[in-house]
Amino acid sequence: MEDTLDSNEKRHHTNLYEGIQWWEKRRLWFNLAVGIAGLIPLLGYMSYLILADFIGVVMFGVAANVCFCAGYILEALDLHYLKGRLNIERYRLLLFTLGTAASVLMTIVLSWGYGIFLME
């Protein structure tokens, strides 16, 4: 029985490590997509920005990357609490695509909204 538990635990650790590697290999693409989505509107009102605005952009980037971690946090929760029953690794690409699209959309909306606010 103990060998089985040790074997399952090792498998879950390996799966989690593989999951983190999978997500981290895509972080650059996520950052590029979100960064470009925010940079394009930003260029339109660059002359209105002050230092605090650039600090806000950096903070937004950090927050976006924290949210990016949700993918492998879901995998870790599935492996630990549900023993992998949800098999979230099957949905990695879908989760990555939907999460990136939502982040890009939110970045565009917030960037344009902030630009309108600055110009009024």
Summarize pLDDT for 20-49 with one digit per residue, the tens. Answer: 999 999 999 999 999 999 999 888 888 888
The domain locations on the chain are 2-119
How many angstroms separate the most distant Cα atoms in the chain?
A: 69
Measure the CA–CA gap between 96 and 18, rounded to whole angstroms: 15
For residue range 77-116, list pLDDT tens digits in order.
998 899 889 999 899 999 999 999 999 999 999 999 988 8
Q: What are the tokens at 30?
A: 């996520």
pLDDT at 8: 60
pTM here?
0.85
